[in-house]
C-alpha cells in the first residue's frame, strides 16, 4: 500500500496577497540544535527519550501477550480503562478517531480515574455491575490519586462479582520493577504490562499504556506502529523538508517574533476532538514552564465558528491556528435535489458534503488571515490507523523540538505536583 507524506503550509496575508511562505532561516540553526539534543540525547530530561525509537524497538514478546489477552477481553461487554493524563488520553484519542460515530456493537470501552466526580464513578459502577467486564488500570507509580481512588472502588466491585476469577479480570499497566501496583500484581497474580522507564506519560500512547486498550477496540495497532516507525525515519532528519521540524519552528516564530500567546488546534472532523485533548496535554505539560510556552486550545469548525469564532476573528490578536485537514475521508454524503427548493439550497445539489467542508476550510482561513490570525495547515491523506500513528509521532517530535527551542525541559512537569500537596494537606484535616 502506498502512503502519502503529510503536507504543511503557513498562510498569512501580506499586502492583500495570501502567502504560503515563512522565513525559516532565522530559526533554522536553533531548530537543528534542538533536534541534535534529541538525537544525541544530551538535552534536558534526556532520560525520557525512549519514545524516539520505541516504534522500531518495542518489546515483541509483550506485544504478543497484549494481542493474545485482547482477544479474550473483546469477548466481554465492557473494558474499563482506569488512568489519568497520558494514561488515558492517548488511547481515547485514537479510539474516538478511528471507531464509527454511532455503531455500538462489540466491546464498550469506558474510562475512569481521570476525575474526582462521585456522580461519574457512581453511574459507571451502576452501568457495569450487571455486565461482563474487565479492568485495565494504568499508573506507573500506582499512587496517582484519581486513579488509585477509582481503582479501589472498581477492584472491590470486580471481586464481589467474580470472586477468585477477578484475578483474571484485572490487567495492570505499571512500572516493570517497583511501585504499589507492581507489588500487588506479583502478590495476587494480575497480568501486567510495562510502562517503560524512559518514556513519560504524555509520550506513552505507542506503548502498552495506549496500545492495549486500542487493540481491545479492534483497531490495527500493527498499522499504528508502522506509521509511527515511518515517522521516525522522516521526522529525525536535519532538513527543512522535515515537516515536524518546520512546525516546531513556526510555533517558535509565532511565540517569539509575532508575540502570539495562544495556538488553536483546529479540526473539521468531530472524530478528532479527543485527539485535540491529547495534543493539548502533550504541548501544555511539555512547554508550560519558566513563564514560557504557547497557551494551547482547540476548536472544531464549523461548529465553533458559531461561538468563539467571533473572538478569533475580531478579538485580541494573540492567536494563531494549526489546522488538521484530512484529505480523504472514509464516508461521505451527497446533497439531494429537492423539487420545491424550500431552503434555496438546490445550487448545492449533487455536491459532496466533504467537499463543501473543504471549501469551509479555505473560506475560514481567508477570513481569519484577513483578521490578522495566521494559520498553519497540516494535511494528512486519510484518517486511519497508519496515519494516526504517524500523526502521533509527528506531534511528539515537534513538541520535543519546540520545547528545546524555547529552552525548557520537555519531559518534566514540576507544576503538576503543587495542587496535590495542597490537597493532601486539606484531606488530612477533613
User: What is the distance between the alpha carbons of residues 69 and 224, in angstroms, rounded to a whole number?
Assistant: 19
Query: In angstroms, rounded to a whole number, what is the distance separating the alpha carbons of residues 108 and 111?
Result: 10
Cell 497480568 -> residue: 191
198: which 3 cell numbers?
A: 524512559
Radius of gyration of the chain from its Cα atoms, rounded to whole angstroms: 23
Coil, strand, or helix at residue 278? helix
Q: Which amino acids are annotated catalytic?
A: 285, 420
Do you know the residue count of the chain?
A: 430
3-class SS of residue 259: coil
Distance separating alpha carbons of residues 353 and 187, to the nearest angstrom: 56
β-strands 7-14, 375-382 pairing = antiparallel
For residue 382, how many other CB atoms are within 10 A of its CB? 14
CA 362 vs CA 18, 207, 268, 299, 366: distances in Å: 12, 37, 11, 16, 6
The contacts of residue 141 (CB under 8 Å, 6+ apart) are 174, 175, 179, 180, 181
* Adjacent-strand bridge partners of 264: 297, 321
Closest CA to 260 of 296, 286, 290: 296
CB 309 within 8 A of CB 276: no
Question: What three-state secondary structure class fits 14?
Answer: strand
* Number of neighbours of residue 316 by Cβ within 10 angstroms: 9
**Rounded CA separation 221/63 (Å):** 10
User: Rounded to an integer, what distance in angstroms lies between the CA atom of residue 185 and that of residue 172?
Assistant: 7
User: Mind giving me the DSSP string for 125-150?
Assistant: HHHHTTS-EEEEEE-SSS--HHHHHH
- Reading the block at residue 305, the C-alpha cell is 465558528
Give the separation between CA 88 and CA 269, rounded to whole angstroms: 21
Amino acid at each position: 500500500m502506498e502512503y502519502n507524506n503529510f503536507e504543511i503550509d503557513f498562510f498569512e496575508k501580506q499586502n492583500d496577497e495570501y502567502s504560503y511562505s515563512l522565513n525559516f532561516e532565522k530559526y533554522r540553526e536553533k531548530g537543528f540544535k534542538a533536534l541534535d539534543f534529541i538525537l544525541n540525547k544530551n538535552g534536558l530530561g534526556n532520560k525520557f527519550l525512549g519514545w524516539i525509537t520505541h516504534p522500531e524497538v518495542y518489546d515483541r514478546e509483550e506485544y504478543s501477550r497484549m494481542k493474545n489477552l485482547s482477544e479474550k477481553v473483546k469477548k466481554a461487554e465492557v473494558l474499563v480503562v482506569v488512568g489519568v493524563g497520558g494514561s488515558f488520553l492517548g488511547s481515547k484519542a485514537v479510539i474516538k478517531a478511528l471507531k464509527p460515530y454511532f455503531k455500538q456493537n462489540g466491546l464498550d470501552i469506558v474510562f475512569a480515574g481521570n476525575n474526582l466526580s462521585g456522580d461519574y464513578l457512581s453511574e459507571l459502577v451502576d452501568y457495569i455491575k450487571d455486565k461482563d467486564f474487565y479492568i485495565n488500570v494504568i499508573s506507573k507509580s500506582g499512587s496517582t490519586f484519581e486513579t488509585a481512588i477509582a481503582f479501589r472502588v472498581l477492584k472491590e466491585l470486580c471481586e464481589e462479582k467474580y470472586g477468585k476469577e477477578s484475578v483474571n479480570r484485572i490487567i495492570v499497566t505499571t512500572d516493570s520493577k517497583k511501585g504499589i501496583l507492581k507489588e500487588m500484581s506479583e502478590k495476587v497474580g494480575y497480568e501486567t504490562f510495562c510502562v517503560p522507564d524512559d518514556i513519560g506519560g504524555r509520550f506513552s500512547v505507542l506503548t502498552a499504556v495506549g496500545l492495549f486498550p486500542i487493540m481491545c477496540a479492534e483497531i490495527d495497532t500493527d498499522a499504528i506502529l508502522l506509521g509511527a516507525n515511518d515517522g521516525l525515519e522522516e521526522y529525525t532528519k536535519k532538513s527543512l523538508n522535515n515537516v515536524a521540524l518546520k512546525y516546531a519552528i513556526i510555533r517558535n516564530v509565532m511565540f517569539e517574533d509575532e508575540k502570539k500567546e495562544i495556538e488553536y488546534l483546529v479540526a473539521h472532523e468531530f472524530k478528532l476532538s479527543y485527539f485535540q485533548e491529547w495534543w493539548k496535554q502533550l504541548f501544555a505539560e511539555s512547554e508550560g514552564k519558566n513563564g514560557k510556552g504557547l497557551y494551547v486550545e482547540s476548536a472544531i469548525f464549523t461548529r465553533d465558528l458559531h461561538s468563539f469564532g467571533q473572538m478569533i476573528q475580531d478579538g485580541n490578536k494573540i492567536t494563531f491556528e494549526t489546522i488538521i485537514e484530512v484529505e480523504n475521508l472514509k464516508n461521505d454524503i451527497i446533497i439531494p435535489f429537492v423539487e420545491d427548493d424550500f431552503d434555496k439550497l438546490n445550487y448545492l445539489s449533487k455536491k459532496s458534503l466533504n467537499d463543501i467542508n473543504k471549501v469551509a476550510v479555505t473560506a475560514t482561513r481567508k477570513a481569519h488571515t484577513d483578521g490578522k490570525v495566521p494559520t498553519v495547515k497540516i494535511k494528512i491523506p486519510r484518517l486511519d490507523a497508519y496515519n494516526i500513528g504517524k500523526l502521533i509521532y509527528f506531534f511528539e517530535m515537534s513538541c520535543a523540538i519546540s520545547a528545546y527551542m524555547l529552552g525548557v525541559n520537555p519531559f518534566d512537569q514540576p507544576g503538576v505536583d503543587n495542587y496535590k500537596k495542597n490537597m493532601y494537606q486539606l484531606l488530612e484535616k477533613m
